């Protein structure tokens, strides 16, 4: 069986390893995601420990670390994580990077974060819900859950992001997943992305931020 396959099916890690290996430049650029930067600029966003789920080749984790955050980053792709470590080295920052599948990964007992970012984890509904459950459960009191991803309205527009509706977000799902949290903003709409060659052009997205009370 070729590497990256399980029971004949391509695993998330195998699929993403191949995508990153084939990329001539960072697929989503090296600048941080715009929404993450907007949240970080808020006057009420004062965080120290940050978890970035599906951090990819590191643009978000490395930037957050450069802002002074203690960052833990998880991604299933070993290829992306190797590149992320190289980006951290170039930026002179330290990020705790973990290669793991979010279908299974659990934080160590007692670990808690002041913010958890889930930026463009475009997995199946099952994977999204599990990652959001882990994210919400890992928040310290007052902690932030921040999500950006392509919305269901992006289905049928295969130029950017997944075409399969099962891999696209909607706000109802996010609100339900964050039911114990206070929603700060829940936005859906079209914007122009300019984040590397894979995220360039008009896209339908959701932007969602919520806080654990306390």
Ligand X SMILES: C[S@@+](CC[C@H](N)C(=O)[O-])C[C@H]1O[C@@H](n2cnc3c(N)ncnc32)[C@H](O)[C@@H]1O
Name which of 167 and 211 has its Cβ closer to ligand X.
Answer: 167
Name which of 67 and 141 has its Cβ closer to ligand X.
Answer: 67
Residue nearest to ligand X (CB): 56
Instruction: Return residues touching ligand X (CB under 6 A).
Output: 12, 16, 28, 33, 54-56, 59-60, 75-77, 80, 101-103, 119-123, 127
Name which of 44 and 104 has its Cβ closer to ligand X.
Answer: 104
> Which residues 6+ apart lie within 8 Å of 83 measured at CB?
20, 26, 57, 58
Rounded to the nearest 10 degrees, the angle between the axes of helix 12-22 and helix 78-91 is 50
Name which of 17 and 114 has its Cβ closer to ligand X.
Answer: 17
Rounded to a whole number of angstroms, the minimum distance from the CB of residue 84 to ligand X is 9
Rounded to a whole number of angstroms, the minimum distance from the CB of residue 98 to ligand X is 10
Rounded to a whole number of angstroms, the minimum distance from the CB of residue 36 to ligand X is 8
Rounded to a whole number of angstroms, the minimum distance from the CB of residue 134 to ligand X is 11
Q: Two tokens at 156?
A: 């049928």
Rounded to a whole number of angstroms, the minimum distance from the CB of residue 213 to ligand X is 27
Question: Parallel, antiparallel, or unpaired: how do β-strands 49-53 and 200-211 relate?
Answer: unpaired
Angle at 99 between CA 163 and CA 82, to 5 degrees: 90
Beta bridge partners of 183: 210
Helix (H, G, I), strand (E, B) or coil at 167: helix
* Alpha-carbon radius of gyration of the chain: 16
Rounded to the nearest 10 degrees, the angle between the axes of helix 59-66 and helix 78-91 is 30
Name which of 158 and 180 has its Cβ closer to ligand X.
Answer: 158
């Amino acid at each position: 069986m070729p590497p990256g396959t399980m029971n004949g099916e391509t695993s998330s890690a195998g699929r993403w390893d191949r995508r990153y290996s084939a990329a001539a430049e960072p697929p989503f650029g090296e600048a941080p995601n715009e929404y993450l930067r907007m949240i970080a600029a808020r006057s009420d966003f004062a965080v120290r420990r940050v978890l970035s789920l599906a951090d990819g080749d590191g643009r978000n984790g490395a930037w957050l670390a450069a802002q002074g955050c203690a960052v833990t980053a998880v991604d299933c792709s070993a290829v992306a994580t190797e590149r992320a470590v190289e980006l951290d080295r170039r930026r002179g920052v330290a990020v705790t990077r973990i290669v793991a599948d979010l279908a299974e990964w659990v934080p160590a007992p007692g670990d808690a974060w002041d913010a958890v970012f889930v930026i463009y984890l475009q997995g199946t509904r099952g994977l999204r819900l599990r990652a959001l459950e882990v994210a919400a459960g890992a928040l310290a009191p007052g902690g932030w859950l921040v999500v950006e991803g392509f919305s269901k309205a992006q289905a049928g527009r295969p130029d950017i992001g997944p075409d399969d509706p099962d891999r696209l977000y909607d706000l109802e799902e996010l609100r339900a997943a964050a039911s114990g949290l206070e929603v700060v903003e829940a936005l859906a709409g079209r914007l122009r992305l300019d984040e590397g060659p894979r995220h360039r052009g008009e896209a339908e997205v959701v932007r969602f931020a919520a806080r654990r009370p306390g």
